[in-house]
Amino acid sequence: MNVGYLFRFIESLKKQKIDCEVFFQEKEKSTLIISRQEVENYQTSKEYGIGVRVIKEGKHGFAYTTNLEELNEIIQKAIEVSQIMEEDRNWQFSKELILKDTKCYPEEPSLQEKISRLLELEREIYSKDKRIKTVRNVVWEKTHENNKILSTTGLFLEYNQQYQYVYTEVGASDGINERSGFDFDVARSWQELELDKLVDKVVWQATSLLGASPKRTQSVDIILPMERAGEFLELISELFSADNVQKGKSILKGFLGERVASSVLNIIEDPFCGEALVPRAFDDEGMKTCRKYFVRNGILENYAYNIYTANKEGKISTGNGVRGSFKALPQVGYFNLYIEPGEKSERELIESVRNGVYVISLMGLHLADTISGDFSLGIEGLWIRNGEFLDPVAEMTISGNLKDFLKNISGIGNKLNFKGNINSPMLKLEDIILAGK
């Protein structure tokens, strides 16, 4: 897309006294699937699109297209949409910011080299443990984006981002019991992918749960390894969203400045962190991002705002406006949210458990109620007795309220991997009711 072409449209709209923002996205995706020592599928795709937002007479309109020649038509459509909307002065565009946030990524190996490595990875999974009977497939996916944001209010922003991952699902059997395991690794470049560790993790997941059975109902300690703790934080992050708070969908509404969690808990967003999967200098509305605490020493310090939710309270956006696509309006989201590491090693946390469970699988997180805080989660994992792993457990649930869950965090591991946009070290929680037989 010719930037000069976009500028001419922006200038013409200025003369018409119509506020307009153009979000241009170019996305390239590659997918490679290996199955049974063959390439099952390989495909690449490119998508180009423009999302247009206008504000006319206090009314907000939005439209998008994948036909870059239809810019004039799509702007007119957005104007038409705005005229059937209710007046809402909370819609605004960021002003006068010119920034370029582009990253350089290392040169990729050839496609054939990637195929050879993934074929090898499939063989390694089988050879790791004779109880592995099936490997459903090994999948590599890479996404690269280039985005530009221009507006009549003085925005000219450009950023790119890239990430890729490999995932696999395996089946294990000991002749009596069967179990499956799924895991992935994600990184900014092929060179940063830790494929050897992926093999170890997915094989361990499947084989460790063979013969799993429920225990009696009791109060226990819970160990959430990094992956499961990250899933838990992703659920908790919904509670910090100003959009959810304003709609009464967060149990943390009205708790700013109050204790909402264990004093050992610090939850931070750091968009500038060099290890972040997708570091960002500004958000998708043109607001500069910043490092901030949402929870510090158990105290709730901030909610996350985009421009719209900030205006509803007379505040300034916290730089948390996120657009997953040119087809979407800005929502409240995060750029590298994580729980701050503690002082104890993972081994020390596990050894501190007298009676509890190391959770390998959490089921039902998406069903947790962020309004009441109530949840009930299915778990699978390994029983811990006096710091040692014993037999596998399954068909058990942990239930309670998210407020209590946050306050039951008693230990945080000292290791943190940035394997997504939301990450956590290992967590230890005490006095959790585990329901079984």
Show pLDDT as tens, one digit a residue, over the chain (437 residues).
Answer: 566 667 777 777 777 778 999 999 999 999 999 999 999 999 999 999 999 999 999 999 999 999 988 888 999 999 999 999 999 999 999 988 889 998 999 999 999 999 999 999 999 999 999 999 999 999 999 999 999 999 999 999 999 999 999 999 999 999 999 999 999 999 999 999 999 999 999 999 999 999 999 999 999 999 999 999 999 999 999 999 999 999 999 999 999 999 999 999 999 999 999 899 999 999 999 999 999 999 999 999 999 999 999 999 999 999 999 998 999 999 999 999 999 999 999 999 999 999 999 999 999 988 899 999 999 999 999 999 999 999 999 999 999 999 999 999 999 999 999 999 999 999 999 999 999 87
The tokens of 13 are what?
A: 């709209």
Q: Which residues, 6+ apart, have CB-to-CB distance to 83 below 8 Å?
A: 56, 59, 61
Per-residue model confidence (pLDDT) at position 2: 62
Numbers of helices and strands, H then E, in the chain: 9, 20
- For 28-43, how does the pLDDT look when each residue is reduced to its tens digit (9 = 90+)? 999 999 999 999 999 9
Per-residue model confidence (pLDDT) at position 7: 74
Per-residue model confidence (pLDDT) at position 1: 58
Per-residue model confidence (pLDDT) at position 8: 75
Which phi and psi (to 5°) does residue 146 adopt?
Answer: -125, 125
The tokens of 303 are what?
A: 């909610």
Give the β-pairing of 155-173 and 132-151. antiparallel
Distance (Å, whole) CA 326 – CA 348: 46
Strand (E) positions, 334-373? 337-339, 355-363
Residue carrying structure tokens 């399954």 = 394
Cα 296 to Cα 230, 240, 301: the distances in Å are: 18, 13, 7
Q: Which residues, 6+ apart, have CB-to-CB distance to 206 below 8 Å?
A: 131, 132, 170, 171, 172, 179, 180, 181
Q: Taking Cα atoms as reference points, which of 261, 247, 114 lies closest to residue 191?
A: 114
Give the β-pairing of 218-224 and 355-363. parallel
Q: Specify whether the CB–CB gap between 431 and 408 falls below 8 A.
A: yes
Per-residue model confidence (pLDDT) at position 3: 66
Distance (Å, whole) CA 278 – CA 266: 21
Per-residue model confidence (pLDDT) at position 11: 77
Q: Which residues, 6+ apart, have CB-to-CB distance to 209 below 8 Å?
A: 179, 181, 360, 361, 380, 381, 392, 394
Per-residue model confidence (pLDDT) at position 436: 86
- For 381-396, how does the pLDDT look when each residue is reduced to its tens digit (9 = 90+)? 999 999 999 999 999 9
- For 137-161, how does the pLDDT look when each residue is reduced to its tens digit (9 = 90+)? 999 999 999 999 999 999 999 999 9
Distance (Å, whole) CA 398 – CA 406: 14
Give the angle subtended at the CA of 178 by the CAs of 180 and 367, to the nearest 5°: 50
Distance (Å, whole) CA 357 – CA 377: 14
Distance (Å, whole) CA 267 – CA 338: 6
The tokens of 317 are what?
A: 């956006």
